[in-house]
Chain A
Amino acid sequence: MLYDVSLTIDYSYDAASDRTRNILRLLPSDIPGVQTVRQRLLTVHPRPQERRDGRDFFLNETSMVAWHRPIDALKLQLTARIERFEPAPIFDFSPPLDELHHELLMVPSLAPEAPHHFIAASPRVALSGAITEYAWECLNEGVTALGAVEAVGRALNRDMAFDPEATDVDTPPEEAFEKRHGVCQDFAHVMIAALRGIGIPAGYVSGFLRTFPPPGQPRLEGADAMHAWVRAWVGNQLGWIEFDPTNNQFAGTDYITIGYGRDYEDVAPVRGAMRTSGGHETSQAVDVLPIEEGAA
């Protein structure tokens, strides 16, 4: 599938900030077997006095931008053309869940892909007794690691309601779980806590999701949003698989990846500090437009 993706994020600050320094994680990159980025452009207004693009520990693309003078608004614009490949069908070659830890010990590595980064509590995802207990209850005797991921993901999709009003960007997963309400970030965080609780390494994926207009209605521009889902490590043979608890499916051709992390904090699209006392407002518009191969 070929997509034109565009994203605009606007910030405005009540009080002009003295200095601003941000790390942006907005640029999608090539991922073998998953996607190829044919072109991409990230523009920043006002023009930053410093900009350095690089990669972080998890190999996500980062753009460090800084202003040494006050700014009272910030506009980030991304346009990209991305080819998303059809994922190979998944056959369950994963070990039984109770043998997964043994396989984990066979990976003596701290490389970015290594599962060890994703097994412990992380800055935004504390392990939770309630969530872990819930996860165990979703499982049948002798379940495989992959089966456990799917069971937990589908259960959460069934039991949690999508609700943009119930939570905000800083809501801890335990609270979202207790309310059984939230947005994709909450679904992902709760599922990550659940999987880690039962011994499955799990991480956060940020990116875009192609959405479909209601039948008979035209696509609305800018109506899409940034999206988040989960990836889980299910043994040496299958490695990482991706599941979207918000939409109750494995990530397929509708999903475009920006970055991987332990939780939201590792892949927050805009991280950074302004030296300002006032609050700020932000708005976001996302378009994921499928391109007919012929038209491309």
Chain B
Amino acid sequence: MTQNPIRVSAQPDLFASYGQTSGVADELFDATGQMRPVWRRFVDRFSRLSPEDIRARFERGDQYLRDAGVFFRQYSNDPLAERAWPLSHIPVILHELEWEHICAGLTQRADLLERVMADLYGPGSLVSDGHLPAELVARSPQWLRPMVGVEPRGGHYLHFIAFEIGRSPDGSWFVLGDRTQAPSGAGFALENRMATGRIFPERFPRAHIHKLAGFFSAFREATEELASPSYKHPRMSGILTPGPSNDTYYEHTYIARYLGMMLLEGEDIVVENGEAMVRTIEGLQPLGMLWRRIDALFADPLEFNPTSQIGTPGLMEAVRTGHLAMANAFGSGVLEMRAMMAFLPRISEVLMGEALKLPNIATWWCGGVNERNYVRDNAQNMLISPADAVDLPFDLGATTALGGEFRGTAMGSIADWLDREGDRLVGQEAVTLSTTPAWDDDGESGSLVPRPMTVRVFAARTALGWHFMKGGYARIGSSDDATALAMQRGGSVADVWVVSDRPLPKEGPKRQVEGNYRRVSPGVLPARAADNLYWLGRYMERTEDAARLVRAYHLRLAATDNRNDPRLKMLRDYLEGFGIDLAQPMPEALITRIAAARNCAMRVRDRFSTDGMSALGDLLKTATRMLETVQPGDDSARAMSVLVRKIAGITGLVHENMYRFAGWRFLSFGRALERADAMAALLAAFSDPKAPEGSLDLAVEVGDSIITHQRRYRVESNRDTVVDLLALDADNPRGLLFLVRELRKHAEAFPNAQLHGRPSELLRVILPLETGIACARTEEMTVARFNAIRGELARISDLLSSIYLR
């Protein structure tokens, strides 16, 4: 350990814990303990901040992330478990010249990877010339045979890739892994940048940091060019996600919203005559390009993994015919296997005629005798693992040996293992990473501590060549152990600042795109999104309706203290018909409904407000807590009031703030339909002349219309007044007529509402229903009539589904 010189600081303790380890490069200090120039001004400013100020700033950053709903999905028993975003608040700072040097090396590497890909799915000369072992490629589950011989549309296989890089003890950079299948993290980099912008909002450092936006707009343009190479035939582009149970689904929704691209799941797409089409509320629309965030093996059950439930049958066919461009091409995952790095240095010389500018982590494929012996003799300094593993070196599995010892179950000696399975194994140098400052909040003044890091660098193919994100996304280890192994335990992420010595111009120069170019409207609503919005509306309303009924029950229970009261019994029977057990003061069925609503919202996260999303999460939490605490009677009634108010808050939030596009209409349609159905059911039961006394008042109460009733009729309630108010009054927003009118208005605004001047199939069912209620007299609104109306509403829902939602 060498100690650092003391620096001027308002906080003399800022570096007290910052001990450098010899043999480990540090981002902040060079080998002589001098602070690197690129950090000086930042550290100077930072060191003037008081501990309280630092805490307050970090909290601002965290608050941003919480408000934005940034989260990480964890694989666990609960598929929807999420955890807070682990931001390390101190950025990693790199000078723009150093960044350019890195990107120059990675440009070469990106070109090399493209050529390897083209050869592996084309002539196969790397194998036949002996530069890549045939069995290594043949063994990889990611070398996809259906892609062999298929020319990618647009001429390239790779369009959006990433590299995980680290810094060696000698200060140079090296590559730990290539991410060529469907790299994640670009969206998280954006969010990290937003958060650090809150933490360090001053002109310095902000004006000196290169922006990320230019990278994304360049990639967005490239996707449009890929989707619609011809101006005459514009096609849509989209992001293909595995769906909400994927650990980076949040990022997919975020980036879809940021780029204005459709977020599609496998079932949103159908393939007809070699052409991929999106199911939208306006019918099938041709798709020209997909940014794939789903593992290729799961993208098409017909040609890849047949057990996949999240793919699109025929997607490979759409690629084969050349109608669909894929970023990145199916099969690009083969480049990620660890063993590939054993051969890339040589392949670079063969294919490019030059050595790799940026080396990769030294790797030996143990299929060769010499390599196997070398790995065995140096096992102490090696990570030995499956050759076709595609995760990064620090994501260690159970069948991995590090430093000469097995991590998982014992498998005999390493020498035996290498002899037995050598052709399935690689040895990789156990590398040492550089350290970078992270904040250690010790509860008192806090201090900076060195933590190991790797940086993820993103590159996108544009008409002008590879375009690199100026900045990135760093992983920060959780201890000062600088071996790559430490990266897997917990850890956090940090923003990467690429900085200039001088303030940068506010806007980068606008890139000119040659030729005609039109952006296809992203306003098309996929049928599945509409379906989820429709059911979100229904579930929210269904929850509110149930909460009102449960409240009505417990209010009466508190007043009468008699479970055998005929009205209570009637309510119990009525609610039992909807699966709600009133023996539970907080019926579990309510939780189920809220969870269903939240699941729908989750699946349209790219179209749903983040405030709405967190409010739904909050509602679920509150309701779940109530399961434990709520007592029957007044307490339950109070709890239901809390829920009703929270739901009203969410509904308000959604309806006040949602842009009136097609999605909003489906949400509102669902709400109105559910409310109409609940009202018809309520009236069928409680306006029955055979119903116990007081039932009518109950209906008015649940219909939230007590005050209106008093005002309008000024008499005790009777069947006529109640049916008039709750069914026939066109101005009562909970009345049947009002709600059916709502349905009609929305249906008139749906696509294809009219065909040749005639109303759509959906309208042809709604219009007679509306007219029938509008013309009815109260005495005609019998129990049978209400039940018939419920039947009509169910038919409307079915029709809506079959016309627009699939």
Given known contacts A109-B128, A273-B302, A66 and B314 CB-to-CB distance under 8 angstroms: yes
A21 located at the interface, meaning its Cβ lies under 8 Å from any Cβ of chain B in the complex = yes
Name which of B124, B301, B302, B313 has the most chain A CB atoms within 10 A of its CB: B313
In the complex with contacts A110-B134, A116-B138, A21-B271 CB distance below 8 A? yes
For the complex, is B798 an interface residue (Cβ under 8 Å from A)? no
What is the bound-complex CA distance between A111 and B137, given in angstroms? Answer: 12
Q: How far is the CA of A21 from the CA of B128 in the complex (A)?
A: 36
Contact of B134 (CB < 8 Å), options: A21, A107, A123, A271 = A107
User: Is there contact, CB below 8 Å, between A108 and B272?
Assistant: no
- Kindly list chain B residues whose C-beta atoms are within 8 Å of the C-beta of A119: 135, 138-139
Q: Which parts of B268-306 form the interface with A (CB within 8 Å)?
A: 270-273, 301-303, 305-306
Contact of A116 among B128, B135, B317 (CB under 8 A): B135
Complex CA–CA separation, A66 to B321 (angstroms): 15
A59-92, CB < 8 A from B: 64, 66, 68
A-facing mask of B299-324, CB < 8 A → 1, else 0? 00111011000000110010000000
Q: Among B127, B135, B139, which residue has the most Cβ atoms of chain A within 10 A?
A: B135
Is there an interface contact between B317 and A64, defined as CB atoms closer than 8 Å? Answer: yes
Q: Are A116 and B134 in contact (CB under 8 A)?
A: yes
Contact A21 to B302, CB < 8 A, known contacts A68-B272, A108-B128: yes
The number of chain A residues touching the other chain, given as a range, is 20 to 34
Flag whether A120 is at the interface (Cβ < 8 A).
Answer: yes
- Is B523 close to A, CB under 8 A? no
Q: Is residue B625 contacting chain A, with contact meaning CB distance below 8 A?
A: no
| A18 to chain B: closest residue by CB | B806
Which residues from chain A contact B137 at a C-beta distance below 8 Å? 110, 116
Q: Contact partner of A272 among B128, B138, B270, B302, CB < 8 A?
A: B302
- The answer to whether the Cβ of A27 comes within 8 Å of any Cβ in the partner chain is no
Asked if B145 is an interface residue, CB under 8 A from chain A, the answer is yes
Complexed CA–CA distance, A56 and B146 (Å): 7
A20 to chain B minimum Cβ distance, whole angstroms, is 9
Interchain CB contact under 8 A, B302 and A23: yes
Q: Could you tell me if A114 and B303 are in contact, using CB atoms closer than 8 angstroms?
A: no
CA distance A111 to B302 in the complex (A): 22
Set B138, B273, B317: member contacting A114, Cβ < 8 A: B138
A259 shortest CB reach to chain B, Å: 14
Which B residues lie within 8 Å of A181 (CB)? none
Report whether A120 and B139 are in contact in the complex, using a CB–CB cutoff of 8 Å: yes
Q: How far is the CA of A123 from the CA of B146 in the complex (A)?
A: 15
In whole Å, how far is A239's beta carbon from the nearest beta carbon of chain B? Answer: 16
Bitwise, A88-128 to B at CB < 8 A (1) or not (0) is 00000000000000001101111100101101100100000
Chain A residue at minimum C-beta to C-beta distance from B314: A21
Tell me whether A50 is interfacial, beta carbon within 8 Å: yes
**Residue B170 lies at the interface, judged by CB distance under 8 Å to chain A:** no
Q: How many angstroms between the C-alpha atoms of A19 and B135 in the bound complex?
A: 38
- Cβ of B589 < 8 Å from any Cβ of A? no
Q: Which residues of B contact A120 (CB under 8 A)?
A: 135, 138-139, 424
Mask, B694-732, CB within 8 Å of A = 1, is 000000000000000000000000000000000000000
What does the 1/0 interface line of B477-504 toward A look like (CB < 8 Å)?
0000000000000000000000000000
Residues of chain A lying within 8 A (CB to CB) of residue B577: none
Do A19 and B270 touch (CB < 8 A)?
A: yes
**Distance, CA A116 to CA B129, complexed state (A):** 16
Task: Check if A265 is an interface residue, CB within 8 A of chain B.
Answer: yes
Residues facing B in A15-64 (CB within 8 A) are 18-19, 21-23, 50, 56-58, 64
Whether the Cβ atoms of A110 and B138 lie closer than 8 Å is: yes
CA distance A23 to B271 in the complex (A): 14
Q: Verify B127–A57 contact, CB threshold 8 A.
A: no
User: Which residues on the A side are within 8 Å of B145 (C-beta)?
Assistant: 56-58
Let me know if A50 and B272 touch, CB within 8 A: yes
Chain A residues with CB under 8 Å of B146's CB are 56-57
B768 interface residue per 8 A CB criterion: no
Residues on B with C-beta less than 8 A from A123 are 305
- Whether B302 pairs with A271 at a CB distance below 8 angstroms is yes
Interface residue range, chain B: 20 to 34
- Is A50 in contact with B134, judged by CB distance below 8 angstroms? no
How distant is B323 from chain A, measured CB to nearest CB, in Å? 13
Q: B148 interface residue, CB < 8 Å from A?
A: yes
> In chain B between 105 and 141, which residues have their CB closer than 8 angstroms to a CB of chain A?
124, 127-130, 133-135, 137-139
Residue of B nearest to A68 (CB): B272
Determine if B302 and A108 form an interchain contact, defined as CB atoms under 8 angstroms apart.
no
Q: B270: which A residues are within 8 A, CB to CB?
A: 19, 68
Cα separation A108 to B128 with both chains bound (whole Å): 5
Contact with A along B136-172 (1 / 0, CB 8 A): 0111000001101000000000000000000000000
**Residues on the B chain within 8 Å of A109, using CB:** 124, 127-128, 134
Contact of A271 among B124, B273, B306, B317 (CB under 8 A): B306
A263 to chain B, nearest CB (A): 12
Instruction: Give residues of chain B (781-806) contacting chain A, Cβ–Cβ below 8 Å.
Output: 806
How many angstroms between the C-alpha atoms of A80 and B148 in the bound complex?
30
> Are A273 and B313 closer than 8 Å at their CB atoms?
yes
Residues of A within 8 A of B130 (CB): 108
Residues of A within 8 A of B127 (CB): 108-110
Contact with B along A123-143 (1 / 0, CB 8 A): 100000000000000000000
A105 to B133, CA, bound (A): 8
C-alpha gap A116/B127 in the complex (Å): 12
Q: How far is the CB of A125 from chain B (nearest CB, A)?
A: 13
Interface residues of A in 200-227 (CB under 8 A from B): none
A193 to chain B, nearest CB (A): 15
Question: What's the Cα separation between A18 and B270 when bound, in Å?
Answer: 11
Across-interface contacts of B302 in A (CB, < 8 A): 21-23, 271-273
**A64 CA to B321 CA in the complex, in Å?**
13
Q: Which residues of B contact A58 (CB under 8 A)?
A: 145
Q: Are B306 and A265 in contact (CB under 8 A)?
A: yes
Interface residues of A in 241-296 (CB under 8 A from B): 265, 271-273
Q: Which of A23, A57, A104 contacts B135 (CB 8 A)?
A: A104
A18 to B301, CA, bound (A): 16
Given contacts A110-B127, A119-B139, A23 and B303 within 8 Å (CB-CB): yes
Which residues does chain B contribute within 8 Å of A56, judged by CB atoms? 145-146
A118 to chain B, nearest CB (A): 8
A145 CB → nearest B CB, Å: 17
In the bound complex, residues from chain B placing their C-beta under 8 Å from that of A50 are 272-273
Question: Complex formed: what's the CA distance from A22 to B130 in Å?
Answer: 38
Give the chain A neighbours of B133 by CB distance below 8 A.
Answer: 105, 108
| Closest CB in chain B relative to A6 CB, distance in Å | 27
Please state if A108 and B313 are interface contacts (CB–CB under 8 Å).
Answer: no
Given contacts A57-B146, A68-B272, A265-B306, contact A108 B134 (CB under 8 A): yes
A116 closest partner in B (C-beta) = B138
Cα distance A110–B130 in the bound complex, in angstroms? 12
B128 closest partner in A (C-beta): A108
Cα A56 to Cα B149 with chains together (Å): 10
Residues in chain A near residue B271, CB distance under 8 A: 21, 66
User: Which residue from chain A places its CB closest to the CB of B137 in the assembled complex?
Assistant: A110
**How far, in whole Å, are A162 and B632 apart by their CA atoms in the complex?**
64
B344 to chain A, nearest CB (A): 18
Query: Please, which residue of chain A has its CB at the minimum distance from the CB of B131?
Result: A108
Q: How far is the CA of A62 from the CA of B133 in the complex (A)?
A: 29
* B273 CB, min distance to chain A CBs, angstroms: 6
A68 to B314 alpha-carbon distance, docked (Å): 12
- Known A-B contacts A116-B135, A119-B138; A272 and B313 likewise in contact (beta carbons under 8 Å): yes
Q: Which 7 A-B pairs have the closest CB atoms?
A: A57-B145, A116-B138, A120-B139, A273-B313, A116-B134, A116-B135, A21-B313
26 residue pairs from A and B, CB less than 8 Å apart: A18-B806, A19-B270, A21-B271, A21-B314, A22-B302, A50-B272, A56-B146, A58-B145, A66-B272, A68-B272, A108-B134, A109-B128, A110-B134, A110-B137, A114-B134, A116-B134, A116-B135, A116-B139, A120-B135, A120-B138, A120-B139, A271-B306, A273-B301, A273-B302, A273-B306, A273-B313
Given contacts A66-B272, A108-B129, A117-B138, 14 further A-B contacts (CB under 8 A): A57-B148, A66-B271, A108-B127, A108-B128, A108-B130, A108-B134, A109-B124, A111-B124, A114-B138, A116-B135, A120-B424, A123-B305, A272-B302, A273-B313
